[in-house]
Each structure stands twice: as C-alpha cells, then as structure tokens.
Chain A
C-alpha cells in the first residue's frame, strides 16, 4: 500500500506538476508528425504522470480517478483502435492498414494517410499508457 507522502512541499509540487506532465504527454503524442515523439513516448510520459500522483498523493486518493481496472482496459482500447484502423481500411476496399482507403469524407488521399497515422499513434499511446499503468499497479499491489 502506497501511503500519502507526508511532506507538504513534495505533495504540492507533484500535484502541481501532474497536469503538465499529462499535457506534455499529449503534446508529444500529437507532435509526432512534426518532430521527435509519437505514441510510445507520449504514452510513457502520460503513464509517468499517473505514477507520480500514485506515489505522492497515495493510492487511496488516486484510485478514484484511475481505478485498478483502468490500465488493462485503456491498453486494450488502444490496441483495438490500432487494429480497428487497419480493419476499417480493409473493409473500405484497401489492404490492411492502408490508410488511403479510410472512409473519411472530404479529404484527399494524403490527408487520409496523415489522419491514419494520427489514429494509430493515439492507439499506441493509449496502449502503452494502459500497459505501464497496469504493470505499476500489479507491482505495487498489496
């Protein structure tokens, strides 16, 4: 059982930092098209935000917002987003994971490729986020 860290400075600093860690994780995920980043890195940073809160605020406080079942479920959803993107393009007439066939109205082929990469990156980010969270939770289970 992780108890609340009994220090005002640590607790306040972590509480202040956690939203920005999340924001940076989202930014890294979305910015993967233009610079260093992507789903794996962004998911890891987002998971580290939750782990920071679990370590500093204690498990009882964070388990309401991020329950124990949250990790595996989000990981599975991320994997399903990835595989579903491939399946949708397969059903729309292309090959598996050929984003040019994604049925998105009023987009050109290049834009569909761009959006397909974005969907896949979001799926990877959710998958890595959920898996890291569930590994941490199972390691610290009492």
Chain B
C-alpha cells in the first residue's frame, strides 16, 4: 500500500511537471486570466468604488458575497471551537448520564 501511494505520488508529480510547460508565462498580458475581467477592474474600479486599492475594491465590493461567506466560515469555526473546547469541568459534573 505504501508503494502504491508513493508511485501514485511520483506519477502525479511527473504529470504536473509535464503540464507545467503549457502554463502561460508569469505576467504574460495575453494569458487567459489577464484578458477576462482583470482589465475591467484595473480601468474601472476606482471610478466605480472610489477606492484606490483594487484588491480591497474586489474583495469587499465586486466579490462581497464571497467575503461574506468567508466571514461566516470563520465565525462558524469559532463557534465550533467554543462548543468543542468551551466546556469547563463544572459543566461536566452537572451532566450525569449512564455512560459516564
């Protein structure tokens, strides 16, 4: 099983190296990622949002739903921590079930 996992990992690594050749060059203006919405954000974000920082404009305005989801995820993680770890010993002694 260990050798199977190792060989799968090596195969996948070789595959990544093989595919990496076709990646667009770093900072290539003709790359697909730089042709879709990026020029629009760079040209219009300051006029539309009044915010010089394009990252903030995208994060909190154009992708506000995404950031709302992120905040909900973080809050849920905090609540989960509270529920899992937040019990003190005093609370444990109150609960008396047959399995304790």
**Residues of A that sit less than 8 Å from B by CB:** 32-36, 38-39, 71-72, 75-76, 78-79, 82-83, 86, 96-97, 99, 110-111, 113-114, 116-117, 120-121, 123-124, 127-128, 130-132, 134-135, 138-139, 141-142
For chain B, residues 40 to 96, give those with C-beta under 8 angstroms from any C-beta of chain A. 47-53, 55-57, 59-61, 64-65, 67-68, 71-72, 74-75, 77-79, 81-82, 84-86, 88-89
Given known pairs A83-B68, A138-B82, the reply for A111 and B50 (CB within 8 Å) is yes
Shortest Cβ gap from B87 to chain A (Å): 8
Contacts of B81 in A (CB 8 A): 134-135, 138-139
Chain A's closest residue to B57 (CB) is A117
Task: Report the count of interface residues on B (CB-CB < 8 A).
Answer: 31
Shortest Cβ gap from B17 to chain A (Å): 33
Given known pairs A33-B56, A123-B71, A141-B86, the reply for A110 and B50 (CB within 8 Å) is yes
Q: Which 9 A-B pairs have the closest CB atoms?
A: A131-B78, A110-B50, A114-B50, A97-B64, A138-B85, A138-B86, A113-B49, A117-B60, A135-B81
**Residues of B that sit less than 8 Å from A by CB:** 47-53, 55-57, 59-61, 64-65, 67-68, 71-72, 74-75, 77-79, 81-82, 84-86, 88-89
Contacts of B56 in A (CB 8 A): 32-33, 38, 117, 121
Q: Tally of A-B residue pairs with Cβ under 8 A? A: 98
Query: What's the Cα separation between A42 and B89 when bound, in Å?
Result: 34
Contacts A33-B53, A36-B55 given; 4 further ones with Cβ under 8 A? A32-B53, A83-B68, A97-B64, A134-B78
Chain A's closest residue to B49 (CB) is A113
